[in-house]
Amino acid sequence: MSSDLEARALARPWFYPFRLRSGATTPSYDGGWLDGIHHTRSAMLATALRARFGDTFGQLDAVDLACHQGWFSVQLAQLGFRDVLAVDARAEHIADATLIRDALGLAQVRLLQSDVHAIDSEALGKFDVCLCLGLIYHLENPVGALRVARALTRHVCVVETQVVPNLGGMVDYGSYKFVRPLKGSFGIIDETDDTHGPEASTTGICLVPSTEALCWIMRKIGFARVEVLPVPADGYEQLVHGKRVMVAGYVD
């Protein structure tokens, strides 16, 4: 029964403020302190998808890498996507996303527990839209994860990440005779004491790209066009100030 599922959902705090069928909203962490980042990203994603696909969402499928409790997956389903595969490494998130999916009656959302690096992209095939939100800055192999995302993308991949300041300039690459330009940079963040955390890395060593690095890598691994998405002026401060970015990679 949907009302029993709602009662279970409403009895505890969530990472996201899910609006349920009754109109009630799940209580979110710290009295909703983080809700702004979720709402800003939802608005940016919907704007980018409407610009690319118009009102054809009913013909589209999507994969949501690192879906957590399914915030973006259920929103794609609510926009009308015909099939959404939500993937996360953590079993507890898959269980939570299943509860929310069922409470909202969104049968087109499927769940899969998998590390992003363990995904067999040949077996899963391609999806019109691939989401890779809030993930790559928790990884020690962000380029590998982006390659998985590219392999899963038929039309558009949206990547959202924390970024670090860029380091540019020229490098004597073995000798002054072999000078190479830096294409971007990564910062190392230590999450080794936080791997138990529900939003954290599973391995603890995290490579965070600069915006320049992310865009260069996305072009290099096969996105024909890469665009840093515009942020609403009243959006979440990290996105407004370029400390996080949402980037769309277009295959066609």
Task: Point out which residues bind ligand SAM (CB under 6 A).
Answer: 66, 68, 71, 88-90, 93, 115-116, 133-135, 138-139, 199, 201-202
Residue 175 contacts residue 188 (beta carbons within 8 Å): no
Strand partners, 34: none
Q: Where are the beta strands (DSSP E) in the chain?
A: 61-65, 83-88, 109-113, 127-133, 153-162, 170-172, 179-181, 186-190, 205-209, 225-228, 244-250
Minimum CB separation of residue 93 from ligand SAM in Å reads 5
Which residue number places its CB atom closest to ligand SAM? 134
Minimum CB separation of residue 179 from ligand SAM in Å reads 36
Q: Which lies closer to ligand SAM via its Cβ, residue 71 or residue 81? A: 71
Minimum CB separation of residue 233 from ligand SAM in Å reads 22
Calculate the alpha carbon distances from 97 to 38, 64, 113, 233 in Å.
Answer: 16, 12, 11, 31
| 212 CB neighbour count, 10 Å cutoff | 17
Maximal CA-CA distance, the chain:
71
Q: Which lies closer to ligand SAM via its Cβ, residue 7 or residue 203? A: 203
Minimum CB separation of residue 216 from ligand SAM in Å reads 22
Q: Which lies closer to ligand SAM via its Cβ, residue 7 or residue 43? A: 43
Minimum CB separation of residue 134 from ligand SAM in Å reads 3
The C-alpha angle with vertex 250 and arms to 249 and 252, in degrees rounded to 5, equals 165
Q: Which lies closer to ligand SAM via its Cβ, residue 44 or residue 133? A: 133
Q: Which lies closer to ligand SAM via its Cβ, residue 177 or residue 196? A: 196
Strand partners, 181: 170
